[in-house]
Structures are given as structure tokens and as C-alpha cells.
Amino acid sequence: MVPRCATCKGKLVQEDSTTQEEYVQRVLAAYRSTPGTTGTLRRPDRLLAAQLHERGVPLMVIENALVLAAARRLFRRPDSPPLGTIRSLAYFSPVIEEVLTLPVNPTYFQYLRYKLHRTQRR
């Protein structure tokens, strides 16, 4: 079964059988480790993670969305004005919805992870 798009309002297929608590912890850990975030968690972040679990959004989609958004923020024109720190998981909601509908090869997200990792090491 293929996951349905976000606009269909249908439940997506979970890729594994993690409990809601495990899912929320993994989402929040991924959020905290994303470049450009404050690293602090708030109640709304936990609630959004639980809602994503309820919708059945695969963890990989969320992780890919965090990577995509971080890459977009880091790899932009050098003369662009500086961006503020991300203070909420909700910042990534539109990117999560975008990734749900993107027909992108998973190796693209691996490439972005590699580029982010190299940039962070510098």
C-alpha cells in the first residue's frame, strides 16, 4: 500500500510498529539535532509530533523534511540576510507536507545529509 498524500486527509501507512511514545521521542530527537534549531522542546512540539503519529506520517518523511529544510537554510546565497533560529517543530510542517508529495529518490536525501554533515564539521 502506498502512502496517501497530505491533501487526501487519509491515514498514511506507518513504516514500522513504533509506539506513539517512541515515535514522538524519535521525532523530537531529530528536531533537536537539526541545524538551525534552538534544541529546546516545548509542549506544542510534543503535541505536533503526536498528531503526526496519529496521521501515520512515516518517520523517514519527517527526517527527510528536517534535512531538506536545514539544507535550504544553510545552502543559500551568501548575500542573503541572516535567518533567525528555529524555535518550533511547527516551522517544518509545510516542508513535511511537501516531502509527502515529492517524487524524489531517497538517495537525494542521503546526499543532503552528507552535505550537512560535511558543513557542520567545518
Q: Answer yes or no: is 39 within a domain.
A: yes
- In the chain, the amino acid numbered 48 is L
Q: Answer yes or no: is 57 within a domain.
A: yes
Whether the Cβ atoms of residue 36 and residue 70 lie closer than 8 Å to each other? yes
Q: Answer yes or no: is 2 within a domain.
A: no
Burial annotation 36-69 (CB, 10 A radius, 16+ → b, else e): ebeeebeeebeebbeebbeeebbbebbbbbbbbb
pLDDT tens-digit series, residues 9-54: 344 444 557 899 999 999 999 999 999 999 899 999 999 999 999 9
Q: Answer yes or no: is 103 within a domain.
A: yes
pLDDT score, position 39: 86
Mean pLDDT of all residues in the chain?
87
Q: Answer yes or no: is 23 within a domain.
A: yes
What is the number of structural domains in the chain? 1
